[in-house]
Chains A and B, each alone.
Chain A
């Protein structure tokens, strides 16, 4: 497979722990255009281990674009230069021989660095725990036509539900706002009858938690949606804003 025919210069963020100030290290790596970006990092890490140095810590799990763990800001863009893909799905053929690639972690107060490129995204978990669920067991799947849901609504809910919680939206946003993520979760649940019942309570609880975690306020630049690997649309933020004001005016 890998005929290594790309010579790359990497500038990678190295940071011991949350309190360390951190710095960039320069590395040289040979990669094949067929490798994924993470495989290229595997090569780098093998190289570092052979040299007796510390490998670069980075998050990954599924390596097929569904878990949301991989998190790298590549030349200033979360998940790199391609639209609609995660870092693990990004191929080295998106770069050219001789390129210098700068790799940084997601940067936001609400995502403190654990080590190197690995950040703590448990703020997202706490937002979900605040209300991003349906609190009663809705049972087994019922007959397809027992609860009528128009196809467009089902599609919209599904589109929102494809959010993998990676945090690229926060990372791309100049305000480090989490509203695309929260909007996706709120929309997905508010559109379907099972989630609708708790919509008001949920949106207020999730927004309160989002604010408590220190994410910024959306200014509608659209950077989040442009960089989102699942291309969650900006309309989920409008839905979030609408659901929130409705709940507030009802006294929630």
Chain B
């Protein structure tokens, strides 16, 4: 254990944990987004319900859920810690700031963007995860997860919250995706530009797809 204590004690160690958990969360997003995108088959949720049922019952996937929550908690804990730690490293602040001359606003706002994501996640987990895992609404066959989605997104408020969540996600990842590789020590003349454009593409496509789901359901584009 002592061998790995640096992941919680040194700045670079903490960053390594951020990068590793960040990339892990990205891999989860890829799966999550693919499964959910099944609603776009527009087949009354048949394909989606099948995929969701597999995800909800397969024991390998179910055990990954613990790893996922562990990773998410580590990422949040470490992220909030570093946010505070870094802000404290400059007690006396500048009176003129010219941050936009040397960096993007979203790279400087990872703490805020992450916190918005966290708030969104609380709402999101309450909407679907609690219902599907801790009540028997879905398992009893009372309604399918697809019907649950249709119900939630019939209201405009959740739709707005979800779209805002997706915007935060997009900017968090626009910086985070490539940043994680840099943190893990991967920076290379030819590969880094590829990582950067993949990151931009990933952030935009995944966020757009996620945002399209509540919107499409609300507008009844998806039946």
Seen from chain A, the residues whose Cβ lies within 8 Å of a Cβ on chain B are 22, 24, 73, 75-77, 81, 102, 104, 107-110, 172, 174-177, 179, 207-208, 210-211, 214-223, 226-227, 234-235, 237-245, 248-249, 251
Contacts and interface: CB of A to CB of B under 8 A. Distances in A.
Contacts of B10: 207-208, 211, 244
Task: Output the residue of B14, B91, B107, B187 with the most chain A CB within 10 A.
Answer: B187
Given A107-B90, A226-B103, A207 B108 contact: no
B12 A207 contact: yes
16 contacts: A102-B96, A104-B96, A174-B108, A207-B11, A215-B11, A216-B85, A216-B86, A217-B12, A217-B15, A219-B179, A223-B103, A235-B187, A235-B192, A238-B182, A241-B182, A249-B3
Given A77-B98, A216-B85, A241-B185, A221 B107 contact: yes
B182 to A, nearest CB: 5
Contact of B104 (A207, A221, A239): A221
A232 to B, nearest CB: 13
B185 A216 contact: no
A109 B92 CA distance: 8
A118 B14 CA distance: 32
List the 4 closest A-B pairs by CB distance, nearest first: A242-B185, A76-B98, A238-B187, A216-B89
Nearest to B16: A245
Nearest to A240: B12
A241 B96 contact: no
Contact of A239 (B13, B90, B185): B185
B157 interface: no
B99 A223 contact: yes
Contacts of B178: 220
A76 B11 contact: no
Given A207-B12, A219-B86, A77 B101 contact: yes
Interface of B: 3, 6, 10-16, 82, 85-99, 101-104, 107-108, 110, 175, 178-179, 182-187, 192
Contacts of B13: 244, 248
Contacts of A109: 88-91
Contacts of A179: 11-12
Q: Is the interface of A mostly helix, strand, loop or mixed?
A: mixed
Contacts of A176: 86, 89-90
B97 A76 contact: yes
B112 to A, nearest CB: 12
A84 B104 CA distance: 19
Given A75-B98, A241-B185, A222 B107 contact: yes
Contact of B89 (A177, A221, A238): A177
Which one of B11, B93, B96, B102 has the highest number of Cβ atoms from chain A below 10 Å of its Cβ? B102
A73 B97 CA distance: 10
Given A104-B94, A226-B102, A177 B86 contact: yes
Contacts of A22: 92
A219 B113 CA distance: 14
Contacts of B192: 235
B102 A77 contact: yes
Contacts of A110: 89
Nearest to A215: B89
A108 B185 contact: no
B92 A107 contact: yes
Contact of A219 (B6, B91, B93, B110): B110
B87 to A, nearest CB: 8
A237 B96 CA distance: 27
A219 B179 CA distance: 8
B3 A238 contact: no
A128 to B, nearest CB: 18
Nearest to B184: A241
Contacts of A211: 10-11
